[in-house]
Each structure stands twice: as structure tokens, then as C-alpha cells.
Amino acid sequence: MTSPTTPAAPSPDTSTDTSTDVTTDAPAPTAQTAQTAQTAPTAPQDRASARAVAALSSSRSPGVRVGARRTASTVGAGVRHLRRLLGTLAWTACLLAAAALLLGTLLVAVQANTRNALVAAVLHAADWADLGVFSRDAGIKHFTGGGSAVKNALVNWGVGAVAWLAVGRVARRVLGG
């Protein structure tokens, strides 16, 4: 920049302009200073301004980045929703298996009529849910003597119900429910 009292140096772009007549206090704008004022932004004063300047000077438009973030967040929300749904389904299936075992234990304990269709269906569901590991006939603990059928059902199916609940909770946590 030139001071008002010194003559302006000729700009490299204009070789014929050698005017030194300055009548105002402000320096006369030359083609070079006008061009640098348009292309060189001032230094941003805060972080938000720096981001705005960086967004304007980047090769991509800011709208593209916003659209990409919106698409990514929509896809991410869909995946989270699907995982939450699968976790809830796994928890519900494990809860139903545990309920069948506990209800079967109750029916064995009260010595319900096994010729009844509803009692037979619940006992069949409990036999399915014990997976053979927690069977009342050959489970993890086998009692003999008086009342052994009730004791076997209480211990084996009770442990099986707790195992189903634990597996259901872990599956729900892993799947994001």
C-alpha cells in the first residue's frame, strides 16, 4: 500500500498508468489492490468463522456435505432400529421359553391333570424349551425317592428358565435393544 504523500508505484498489470495525483486522504485503489481484496479473505476471528471460510473455499459445496451427513444418519438410524427390533424379538423368544418352563414347573408341582389338552400343551412346550439339558427326567440334577418328579422339575426347569432369561438379556444387549 502507498501513503497519500508518496507517489503510487506503477502496478505490474498496467504499464501506462503513472498517475501520481492524489487529492484524498485515502490511497487510490489500483487494479491489484482491488483484486487482492476480492480474493484474499480476512483472517477469521473465531472458530465458527474459520469453518465458514473453509466451507466456502472447499471444492465441494456445503450442501453436498450436509446431504451426505443426512443420508448417513438416516441409514444409521435404520440400522439401529433394525438391531433394536432384533434384540427385542430375541428377548421376547427367550422370555416365552422361560415362561413355558416356569409354568410347566408349576403344573408339575400341583400335579395337574396331564390328560387335559392345555396342561399337555404347556408340558410339551416346557419339554421343548429345556433343550434336553434341563430335562426333568435327565437334567443337570437328578433326584430319586419320594417327590422326585416335583424336585426334578423345580430344579432343572428353574435353572433352565434362569438360563433362558440370561441368554435373552445378553442377546438383547448385543443386538442393541
Bigger pLDDT: 101 vs 143: 101
The predicted-structure confidence for 33-87, as pLDDT tens digits, reads as follows 555 555 555 555 777 777 766 666 555 555 556 565 666 677 777 888 888 899 9
- Asked if residue 19 belongs to a domain, the reply is no
C-beta of residue 157 within 8 angstroms of C-beta of residue 130: yes
Query: Looking at the 3D structure of the chain, how many domains does it have?
Result: 1
pTM above threshold 0.85:
no
Least confident of 29-33, 95-99, 109-113: 29-33
- Asked if residue 20 belongs to a domain, the reply is no
* Enclosing domain of residue 147: 81-175
- Asked if residue 44 belongs to a domain, the reply is no
Distance CA 130, CA 97 (A): 8
- Asked if residue 23 belongs to a domain, the reply is no
Distance CA 65, CA 67 (A): 5
- Asked if residue 148 belongs to a domain, the reply is yes
